[in-house]
Amino acid sequence: MSRAGRRSGDSGTRAAILDSARRQFAEHGYDGATIRAIASGAGVDPALVHHFYGTKERLFAAAMQLPVIPSEVISAALADTSRRPEVTLGTHMVASALALWESEEVRGPFLGLLRSAMTSEQATAMLREFITEAILAPVAAVTNDTDPGSAPFRASLIASQVLGLALTRYLLGLGPIASAGRDELVAAIGPNIDRYLTGDLN
Amino acid sequence: MSRAGRRSGDSGTRAAILDSARRQFAEHGYDGATIRAIASGAGVDPALVHHFYGTKERLFAAAMQLPVIPSEVISAALADTSRRPEVTLGTHMVASALALWESEEVRGPFLGLLRSAMTSEQATAMLREFITEAILAPVAAVTNDTDPGSAPFRASLIASQVLGLALTRYLLGLGPIASAGRDELVAAIGPNIDRYLTGDLN
């Protein structure tokens, strides 16, 4: 796509950066794409990319039209739990995921990303790397710290349940899990997430 | 595809039935496809389809090249658990699923079906109906029978965790869950399945 044409000023520059980011993420994956290469592809200075988007995660979220920044949602959930100790972290994570997905604005891009990861090797690598860095790492940081070695495993078990929920509820529309109310799902699934976070897994 | 040509005898007839089955399942879904219509599409008598394949589930498994019949695997797992009471049913279900998936012969067609369900509405409906009838129903039959109304919900929660495991381990190849040994996964996930089977979900 030409970087000239109708675009002008900030919005044209932002659009050129997002175009370049999508190309770089698709070609080199989440880990391999660099702010420097994305800036170069858009014909701008790397400092401008940092100025507009801050981190690579925020740039990825903007390029993929994710309306939320996963690690920020997780941090917010953690802060909320520490204020209300009667809510377990697992319960809160399920409630947050469902609240986000019930918004069409979030669900659409999220399911689009998941769908493309199912069918394209490149998209798979990109999503895998993104989930590992932006979601598993912050989750791992709050899991059972008596055994820090188990944190990445615990985080990936949580991903298996949370992504499995999205798969069966929204993509497959599987009977009762698709029609269940949010509170019912939070009560049913939350404690299983708590076990993955801090329970005995052996 | 022409039903004449090089085919002859039993194998030609079987191939014509499987062709017709794939068309009918794709067009009308698992529930909507009938043995009668499949037989008619293959130009044979319905009795012959029953003779070759027995049930609609077995015919579906043959048409989709699934090398196992899900409800039979579940029944076998149940029988095994009742002989060895120290093995919980949830643990046994996770072990059985992993043992099946570690075989390339099973994993390939299974992931193919899951992938196509992610991207085609028709394939989604077909897989949803098949999972509901051939997998959720037998699972629901062994869940907490003090509250039979909860059985379909319990079965769909199990599906969310088991399909989420397949998604993260095989399709996304997500870090530790992709490289973990079978025993480690069975110990970590089995008890969560047991809770979905018989635990308090409220």
The Cα B71–Cα B78 span in angstroms is 11
**Per-domain boundaries in chain B:** 9-63, 70-198
Which chain B residues contact residue A189 at CB under 8 A? 157, 160
Residues B4-46 pLDDT 10s: 444 457 888 999 999 999 888 888 888 889 999 999 999 999 9
Q: Do A188 and B172 lie within an 8 Å CB cutoff?
A: no
Whole-angstrom Cα Rg for chain B: 19
Residues B38-64 pLDDT 10s: 999 999 999 999 999 999 989 998 888
Neighbours of A99 (CB within 10 A): 13
> Residue B144's pLDDT is what?
61
- CB-based contact, A176 to chain B, within 8 Å: yes
The Cα A104–Cα B2 span in angstroms is 45
Q: Do B192 and A192 lie within an 8 Å CB cutoff?
A: yes
CB burial of residue B9 (10 Å; 0-12, 13-18, 19+):
exposed
Third-level CATH fold of B9-63 = Arc Repressor Mutant, subunit A (1.10.10)
Which of A157, A158, A198 best tests the B interface by mutation, with the highest count of B CBs <10 A?
A157
> Residue A34's pLDDT is what?
94
In A4-136, alpha helices (H): 9-32, 35-42, 46-53, 56-63, 70-83, 89-101, 104-119, 121-130
> Residue A137's pLDDT is what?
78
Long-range contacts at B63-66 (CB < 8 A, ≥ 24 apart): B63/B18, B63/B21, B63/B22, B63/B25, B64/B22, B64/B25, B64/B109, B64/B113, B65/B109, B66/B106, B66/B109, B66/B110, B66/B113
Q: Do A187 and B176 lie within an 8 Å CB cutoff?
A: no
Which of A131, A156, A179, A183 best tests the B interface by mutation, with the highest count of B CBs <10 A?
A156
ipTM of the complex: 0.81
- CB-based contact, B168 to chain A, within 8 Å: yes
Distance (Å) from the C-alpha of residue B143 to the closest C-alpha of chain A?
Answer: 14
A124, A174, A177 ranked by CB distance to B172: nearest: A124
Residue tagged 């062994």 (tokens): B142
Distance (Å) from the C-alpha of residue A169 to the closest C-alpha of chain B?
Answer: 8
pTM: 0.82
Going residue by residue through chain A (202 aa), what tens digit of pLDDT does each one get?
444 444 457 888 999 999 999 888 888 888 889 999 999 999 999 999 999 999 998 999 888 887 778 778 777 777 777 777 777 888 988 998 898 888 888 888 888 888 888 777 778 888 888 888 777 777 777 776 667 778 889 989 999 999 999 999 999 898 899 999 999 999 999 999 999 988 999 8
The Cα B172–Cα A165 span in angstroms is 15
Q: Does pLDDT of B1 surpass 50? A: no
- CB-based contact, B12 to chain A, within 8 Å: no
% chain B with pLDDT above 70: 94
B115, B136, B202 ranked by CB distance to A175: nearest: B136
The Cα angle at residue B87 between residues B84 and B92, in degrees rounded to 5: 110
> Residue A94's pLDDT is what?
92
Q: Does pLDDT of B142 surpass 80? A: no
B115, B156, B174 ranked by CB distance to A156: nearest: B174
- The amino acid present at A111, given as its one-letter code, is L
A114, A131, A191 ranked by CB distance to B174: nearest: A131
Long-range contacts at A64-72 (CB < 8 A, ≥ 24 apart): A64/A22, A64/A25, A64/A109, A64/A113, A65/A109, A66/A106, A66/A109, A66/A110, A66/A113, A67/A103, A67/A105, A67/A106, A67/A109, A68/A100, A68/A106, A69/A134, A70/A134, A70/A135, A71/A134, A71/A135, A71/A137, A71/A138
Q: Do B153 and A127 lie within an 8 Å CB cutoff?
A: no
Third-level CATH fold of B70-198 = Tetracycline Repressor; domain 2 (1.10.357)
Residues 6+ apart with CB under 8 A from A133: A30, A31, A57
